[in-house]
Amino acid sequence: MSKYITKRVLISILTLLAILFVLFLMLDFMPGSPFNDEKLTEAQKALLYAKYGLDQPFFIRFAKYVGAVLRGDLGFSYVLNKNKAVTDMIKGPLVVSLKVGALGMLLGTALGLLLGIAAALKHNTWIDTLCSIVSILGVSVPSYVFALLLAYFVGFKMGWIPILYSSKNVLKSFIGPMLALAMSPMASVSRFTRSEMIDVLGSDYIQLVESKGVRQSNVILKHALRNTLIPIITIMGPILVNLLTGSMVVEKVFGVPGIGTMMVTAIQSNDYNVTIACAFVYSAMYIVMMLIIDILYGVIDPRIRVAKEGS
């Protein structure tokens, strides 16, 4: 077990380094230098470069950059919020984004479970058909299309939810983005739950439990559901990816002041430092979550561990 975890952690660290390297390359390639002033002579420029360490070899600068990022120093914003430390700018939006994302994930998973169980119990009825329609729609229609449709029909036409985020009514403002983000997890979870549940319900131990006379609700909740839930962890990875992908544009559509909106705005106004910082935060979150899922799955299902160690 510890060998498996060490390996996963090592690979995650390498991935993080790879991302930092890409980001550093970006910074290096960005057009323009901070010392573009025409009045500066070559000698003065050389002095300035020396002062900021820009004359040093590539890899030393990279090492310094990694050190700075690990200390939480992500540079300063040039455009959006002049000379403010990016780390300070990101903290607030990150919390908002995490809240919206977690809510969407919870809602989606809960609805998906309900729908999947219902479809499995009423196998081959209209509920089952409904479940497959909903899941194929949710898997294939991108979340920001849902966001746009929600914003227009439910928000603008019917006026049930606010189209734009307002800090006065945070809870109500969360409804739109939450629903839009919940679609994709709901679809994947319901699809998966349905097929797993049908398998489990047909197994011998469920027949045994049923023939012992255990109540139907107990059969499902206590015996069937538990064994259905384990494999669902496998699809948590792709779901998280979709959620991250979706959150950027969905936040922008509803004007939620999260990290997605910040990144989109930073891209559109060429604020490189903020863009790169947001990219780093997204990647770091992604890597940590994938690591947790992998380890969790290894703990629950020893076969995965063995297979991955063997290869």
Partner 1 sequence: MSEYAEKHMPIIENDWEDEDFVFVQENTRLKDKVYQQTSFIRDVWNNFSKNKGAVVGLVIITVIILFAVFGPMISGYRYDEIILAEQSMPPRIPVLEKFHLFNGVEKGVNVYKDRGLTDVYHWFGTDTNGRDLFTRVWEGTRISLSIAFIAVAIDIIIGMSYGLISGYFGGKVDMIMQRFVEILNGIPTLILVTLIGLVLPPGLKTIIFALMITGWIGMSRISRAEVLKLKEQEYVLASRTLGLKSFGIIFKEIMPNIFGQLITMAMFSVPSAIFMEAYLSFLGLGIPAPAASLGTLISDGYKSLTVHPYIIMSAITVLALLMLSFNLFADGLRDAFDPNQKH
Q: Is 184 in the site for partner 1 (CB under 8 A)?
A: no
* Pure H helices in the chain: 2-29, 42-51, 58-70, 86-121, 126-140, 143-149, 170-201, 204-211, 216-218, 225-254, 259-268, 272-300, 302-310
Binders of partner 1: how many residues, by CB under 8 A?
Answer: 47
Residue selected from 4, 23, 165, 256 as contacting partner 1 according to rule CB under 8 A: 23
Q: Is 221 in the site for partner 1 (CB under 8 A)?
A: no
Q: Which is nearer to partner 1, 111 or 196 (CB)?
A: 196
The span of 63-71, 77-85, 94-102, 238-246 binding partner 1 (CB under 8 A) equals: 238-246
Residue selected from 1, 26, 102, 229 as contacting partner 1 according to rule CB under 8 A: 26
Q: How far is the CB of 139 from partner 1 (least distance, A)?
A: 6
DSSP symbols for 137-149: HHHHS-HHHHHHH
Binding mask 128-147 for partner 1 (x = CB under 8 A): --------xx-xxxx-xx--
- Integer Cα distance of 180 and 244 in angstroms: 12
Q: Which long-range contacts (CB under 8 A, 24 or more apart) does 290-295 make?
A: 290/12, 290/237, 290/240, 291/8, 291/9, 291/12, 293/233, 293/236, 293/237, 293/240, 294/8, 295/4, 295/5, 295/8
Burial of 43 (0-12, 13-18, 19+ CB in 10 A): exposed
Do 134 and 115 meet the contact criterion of CB atoms below 8 Å apart?
yes
Residue selected from 22, 50, 63, 208 as contacting partner 1 according to rule CB under 8 A: 22
Q: Which phi and psi angles does 85 have, rounded to 5°?
A: -65, 130
- Integer Cα distance of 179 and 143 in angstroms: 9
Residue selected from 56, 227, 234, 245 as contacting partner 1 according to rule CB under 8 A: 245
Q: Is 11 in the site for partner 1 (CB under 8 A)?
A: yes
The span of 51-59, 87-95, 260-268, 298-306 binding partner 1 (CB under 8 A) equals: 260-268
Q: Is 253 in the site for partner 1 (CB under 8 A)?
A: yes
Q: How far is the CB of 267 from partner 1 (least distance, A)?
A: 5
In angstroms, the first-to-last Cα distance of the chain is 15
Q: Which is nearer to partner 1, 174 or 254 (CB)?
A: 254
Q: Is 186 in the site for partner 1 (CB under 8 A)?
A: no
- Integer Cα distance of 19 and 65 in angstroms: 12
The span of 118-126, 167-175, 278-286, 296-304 binding partner 1 (CB under 8 A) equals: 278-286
Q: How far is the CB of 308 from partner 1 (least distance, A)?
A: 10
Which are the contacts of 83, defined by CB distance < 8 A and separation ≥ 6? Answer: 76, 77
Q: Is 275 in the site for partner 1 (CB under 8 A)?
A: yes
Interface contacts to partner 1, rule CB under 8 A: 11-12, 14-16, 18-19, 22-23, 26, 29-30, 136-137, 139-142, 144-145, 148-149, 151-152, 156, 163, 195, 241, 244-245, 248-249, 252-253, 263-264, 267-268, 272, 275, 279, 282-283, 286-287, 290, 311
